[in-house]
Amino acid sequence: MEYRIEKDSMGEIKVPADKLWGAQTQRSYENFRIGEEKIPYELVKVFGILKKAAAAVNREIGVLDSERADAIMAACDELLAGKLDGNFPLAVWQTGSGTQFNMNINEVLAKRANQLVVSRGLELFIHPNDHVNKSQSSNDIFPTSLHVVGILMLQERLLPALRTLRMTFEQKADDFKDIIKIGRTHLMDATPLTLGQEVSGWAAMLARDEAMLSSGMEFLRDLAIGGTAVGTGINSHPRFAVMAAEEISRLTGERFISAPNKFQSMTSKAEIAMVHGILKALAADLMKIANDIRWLASGPRCGIGEITIPENEPGSSIMPAKVNPTQSEALTMVVAQVLGNDTTIAFAASQGNFQLNVFMPVIAYNVVQSIRLMADTMKSFNEHCAVGIMPNRDKIAYNLQRSLILVTGLVPLVGYDQAARIAKHAAKDGITLREAALESGLVTEEEYEQYMDPARLVKPRE
């Protein structure tokens, strides 16, 4: 491998000749050979947006000349287009402020901007700190990136997948609205409901999660940019913070504002922890839905078997014709990962001292992973499971008629105790509820038909 010599305040270091990064990136690359987890690519892209916004604002304010600003912005455009991929090698496990990652971005953009300047025949030098990082600090740009990447990934990836799955369940709820089945609580028989009502609960869970996410993510619109080192805004123009938020809004198409208190926005990670907490709530609902579906499809002959799910792949290497609820299994494994990520994020958000949180790279990694996994698994679950759910009407009718809990319908007529005696009589003698009720002498055939009509048991009594 060929190398070139780069310099920084600590001296000289060899850098691979085919890479655009500089000395500080190389030092981090060599000093933190920990694990395989890299700073997420989504964060690289967001930093490209932030650096472009900063260059544009610095030019407008008049603290950065147009030639340098234009070259930096052009380099940012190449980063956003994927043309600079392969130049962002740093581990998550680095400085807690993300300084080395910020410098990785600064160095790559400066190097590429200098190449663009030379190609244009201009004689000037673009410095990673003095120009690309102008009016910024790692301490405000990294917290800013957490909020921006959160908003963009939620809006572009997670919420569309969530809405699609919700709409699938809403359609299924309507399709199944007249199919009466036995309910279950504590995994035991309970009073009846329709399959549509059951599925409507899943749809409503997702609708409520969507509403909570949409509300919670509003807190991510406050940006720390402009606070620089400790929140005072040292070495930045007084108008930079507000203008940067406006430019980021313009570039992303999302509304962002300058955080009203930079001391809070730089040291606290409460907003991102709160939003991930809502993701945890969504994950909990998805776990519940996936488990309901695999229970209802279980068997199919020797289990509940009240619904069928798509048969996507063989389920066993030894048992022919076995098909498993693999989409539920994949989804619930994602949930397990997200719940673990939430614990990491909550702990990380509590750490740091005075003006800075020093767990930001691991927060970023886990937030991005959770949103990515949740979006992907909901899309997969919808396409390969939910849309193909169908009722097994024969099994639903069989289970409904066998349940003794239907006797609850007689309680308004004969009372709880007498209804219990009727059910126990039916169970002991192996007869139907109808036979046991009529034998009790407490119920006429006409009354039984009236009070035990399943269609009247799935709604409030009129």
Whether the pLDDT of residue 316 is over 90: the answer is: no
pLDDT at position 101? 98
Q: Measured between alpha carbons, how far is 59 from 371 in angstroms, rounded to an integer? A: 35
| Residue 155 near residue 280, CB atoms below 8 Å | no
Q: What pLDDT, in 10s, does the model give residues 248-289?
A: 999 999 999 999 999 999 999 999 999 999 999 999 999 999
Are 448 and 366 members of one domain?
no
CATH number at residue 435: 1.10.40.30
Query: 300: cis peptide before it, omega within 30°?
Result: yes
- Quote the tokens at residue 97: 């402020």
Q: Residue 129 carries which DSSP code?
A: I
Q: What pLDDT, in 10s, does the model give residues 363-383?
A: 999 999 999 999 999 999 999
C-alpha dist (Å) from residue 263 to 86, 269, 432: 35, 12, 71
Q: What pLDDT, in 10s, does the model give residues 231-250?
A: 999 999 999 999 999 999 99
Whether the pLDDT of residue 122 is over 90: the answer is: no
Question: Of the ranges 12-21, 115-124, 161-170, 174-183, which one carries the lowest mean pLDDT score?
Answer: 115-124
pLDDT at position 315? 87
| Residue 148 near residue 365, CB atoms below 8 Å | no
Does residue 309 fall inside a structural domain? yes
Does residue 249 fall inside a structural domain? no
268 belongs to the catalytic site:
no
Are 54 and 106 members of one domain?
yes
CATH number at residue 39: 1.10.275.10
Are 84 and 43 members of one domain?
yes
Q: Measured between alpha carbons, how far is 312 from 381 in angstroms, rounded to an integer? A: 12
Alpha-carbon dihedral of residues 293, 373, 269, 43, nearest 10 degrees?
-160
Q: What pLDDT, in 10s, does the model give residues 408-428?
A: 999 999 999 999 999 999 999
Does residue 252 fall inside a structural domain? no
The amino acid at 356: L
pLDDT at position 69? 98
State the DSSP string of 17-80. Answer: TT----HHHHHHHHH---SS-B--HHHHHHHHHHHHHHHHHHHHHTSS-HHHHHHHHHHHHHHH
Catalytic, out of 9, 119, 186, 317 = 186
Average pLDDT of 67-75? 98
Does residue 245 fall inside a structural domain? no
Are 71 and 147 members of one domain?
no
The amino acid at 82: G
Does residue 335 fall inside a structural domain? yes
Q: Measured between alpha carbons, how far is 429 from 301 in angstroms, rounded to an integer? A: 26
Q: Residue 167 carries which DSSP code?
A: H
Q: Residue 238 carries which DSSP code?
A: T
| Residue 454 near residue 192, CB atoms below 8 Å | yes
- Quote the tokens at residue 91: 């581990």
Average pLDDT of 41-47? 98
| Residue 277 near residue 239, CB atoms below 8 Å | no
9 belongs to the catalytic site:
no
Q: What SS3 string covers 277-318?
A: HHHHHHHHHHHHHHHHHHHHCCCCCCCCCCEECCCCCCCCCC
Q: Please identify, among 110, 134, 158, the residue that sits at the C-terminal boundary of a domain.
A: 134
Q: Please identify, among 344, 368, 393, the residue that sits at the C-terminal boundary of a domain.
A: 393
Q: Please identify, among 134, 163, 188, the residue that sits at the C-terminal boundary of a domain.
A: 134
Domain that holds residue 409: 403-456
Q: Measured between alpha carbons, how far is 166 from 163 in angstroms, rounded to an integer? A: 5
CATH number at residue 376: 1.20.200.10
Whether the pLDDT of residue 462 is over 80: the answer is: no
Q: Measured between alpha carbons, how far is 102 from 37 in angstroms, rounded to an integer? A: 17
Burial class (CB in 10 A: 0-12, 13-18, 19+), 17: exposed
pLDDT at position 426? 94
Instruction: Count up the domains in the chain and report the number.
Output: 3
Are 308 and 373 members of one domain?
yes
pLDDT at position 461? 81
Are 296 and 356 members of one domain?
yes
| Residue 297 near residue 305, CB atoms below 8 Å | yes
Are 313 and 386 members of one domain?
yes
Does residue 230 fall inside a structural domain? no
Beta strands 180-185 and 390-391 are unpaired
Q: Measured between alpha carbons, how far is 350 from 269 in angstroms, rounded to an integer? A: 8
Does residue 462 fall inside a structural domain? no
C-alpha dist (Å) from residue 92 to 38, 43, 97: 5, 11, 11
Does residue 347 fall inside a structural domain? yes
Are 181 and 319 members of one domain?
yes
Are 196 and 295 members of one domain?
yes
Q: Give percent of the chain with pLDDT exceeding 70.
A: 100
| Residue 259 near residue 224, CB atoms below 8 Å | yes
pLDDT at position 225? 98
| Residue 294 near residue 258, CB atoms below 8 Å | no
Are 215 and 344 members of one domain?
yes
Are 39 and 150 members of one domain?
no
- Angle at 161 (CA atoms; ends 159, 167), nearest 5 degrees: 100
Burial class (CB in 10 A: 0-12, 13-18, 19+), 308: middle
Burial class (CB in 10 A: 0-12, 13-18, 19+), 9: exposed
Q: Measured between alpha carbons, how far is 359 from 349 in angstroms, rounded to an integer? A: 7
What average pLDDT does the structure give for the chain?
97
Catalytic, out of 316, 350, 370, 380 = 316
Are 300 and 210 members of one domain?
yes
